[in-house]
Amino acid sequence: MKVLPIALLCTLFFGPLGILALFWTIICIGRGDFLTAVVSLGFAMFCLGFIVPFAKVVPGKLVPSGDFDDEGTTIRPDRGVDIPLQVALLGQTVACGLFAVLGPLGMVDIPVPEQMRFYIPFASAVAAVMGAPILWRTLRRGSLHYLRLTPNGFTFVQGSRPQDGDWAQVVDVTDASPKQSAPTPNSIVVVMSDEDVLTLSAASFTPEGRALRALVRFYWQNPNCRDELTDGRALKRLAESSRRH
């Protein structure tokens, strides 16, 4: 997947909107219209938080974060990607929720075309309802998604339902599902013996997910090294692999 064209398009579209929303926030605060200021600020957080991660993803300057305990190692996305996206999610959920309620009541000074006076608040309500559970899971987990590796197996935590697997049941660790003719961009694909295919989006961890995919493959193929997952050596191995990839 070509990231640069997508980054340019998103930046050109969301960047000016975010800056405009930020200026409108300042103006609204200055005149004491705090409800509009909160909605406008939320929109600015969404727009700018959405494009900031490209500054790390496009040049490939990603450094995953992680920690370990006696049971295993947890690997999270680069904080320079994960935190702005959390900010964007928070801004979107708050702004859309408030606008869905206050917009039809005329309590926020955000112009809406006459023909869209029903559709935009309705779309805002849908976005808020969809965003709220994702925001709750993200705040509870500490990141949008993460990978947990233990001597016994692994867990992909993303979306509403974590995916667990046992090393003994793994058939392959790759970037493409057996049912696909082309690789899945930026992903770790684990094929299980029962033909289940578990996938984790890894673009926010390491460039194109290569180093993280290599780490998962290493511990699958080298069970004698899995004790590294409980003492911090796995994170050092990932750092070394990231430099090579």
The SS3 assignment for 146 reads strand
What is the domain range of residue 129?
A: 3-61+79-141
Backbone φ and ψ for 157, nearest 5 degrees, come out as -110, 105
Last residue of a domain, one of 141, 159, 190: 141
Of the three residues 101, 126, 141, the one that is the final residue of a domain is 141
Same domain, 109 and 14: yes
The confidence score (pLDDT) of residue 106 equals 87
pLDDT at 198 over 60: yes
Pairing of strands 163-166, 197-201: unpaired
What does the DSSP assignment read for 31-53?
TT-HHHHHHHHHHHHHHHHHHTT
Handedness of CA 50, 56, 59, 64 (dihedral sign): negative
Judge whether 193 and 207 are in contact, CB under 8 Å: no
Q: Looking at residues 17-22, what average pLDDT do you find?
A: 96
pLDDT score of 118: 83
Q: What is the pLDDT of residue 1?
A: 52
Q: Rounded to the nearest 5°, which phi and psi values hold at 185?
A: -55, 135
**151 assigned to some structural domain:** yes
> Is residue 125 domain-shared with residue 83, that is, in the same domain?
yes
Is 109 in the same domain as 127? Answer: yes
For residue 113, what pLDDT is reported?
81
Q: Residue 4: what pLDDT?
A: 82
- Quick: pLDDT tens for 132-188: 999 999 999 999 999 999 999 999 999 888 999 999 999 999 988 877 767 777 899
**Bridge partners, residue 67, by sequence:** 74
Residue 2 has a pLDDT of 66
Do 137 and 176 have their domain in common?
no
What is the rounded average pLDDT of the residues 39-47?
A: 97
| Of 214 and 242, the one with more pLDDT | 214
Q: Are residues 25 and 95 in the same domain?
A: yes
Q: Are residues 132 and 214 in the same domain?
A: no
> Which of the four pLDDT bands, split at 50, 70 and 90, describes residue 24?
very high
DSSP 150: -
Task: Specify if 26 maps to a domain.
Answer: yes
Q: Which residue has the higher pLDDT, 3 or 40?
A: 40
Percent of the chain at pLDDT exceeding 70: 98
Residue 228 and residue 132 share a domain: no
Residue 51 and residue 150 in one domain: no
d(CA 127, CA 50): 15
CA dihedral 186, 15, 159, 74 (to 10 degrees): 60
- The three-class DSSP label of residue 128 is helix
Q: Tell me the two tokens of residue 204.
A: 């926010």
Domain's final residue, options 93, 119, 141: 141
Residues 8, 14, 15, 20, Cα dihedral to 10° = 160
**What are the helix and strand counts (H, E) for the chain?**
7, 8
pLDDT of residue 12: 93
Residue 29 CA to residue 170 CA, distance in Å, equals: 56
Mean pLDDT of all residues in 19-29: 96
Residue 74 lies in a domain: no
Q: Is the residue at 233 inside a domain?
A: yes
Asked if 158 and 108 sit in the same domain, the reply is no
Q: How many domains, in total, are found in the chain?
A: 2
What is the predicted pLDDT for the residue at 160?
84
CATH number for the domain including 200? Answer: 2.30.29
pLDDT for position 245: 65
Is residue 114 located within the same domain as residue 88? Answer: yes
pLDDT at 244: 76
Q: Which of 140, 139, 53 shows the shortest CA–CA distance to 94? A: 139
Name which residue leads in pLDDT, 59 or 4.
59
For residue 198, what are its two tokens? Answer: 């578990």
pLDDT at 111 over 90: no
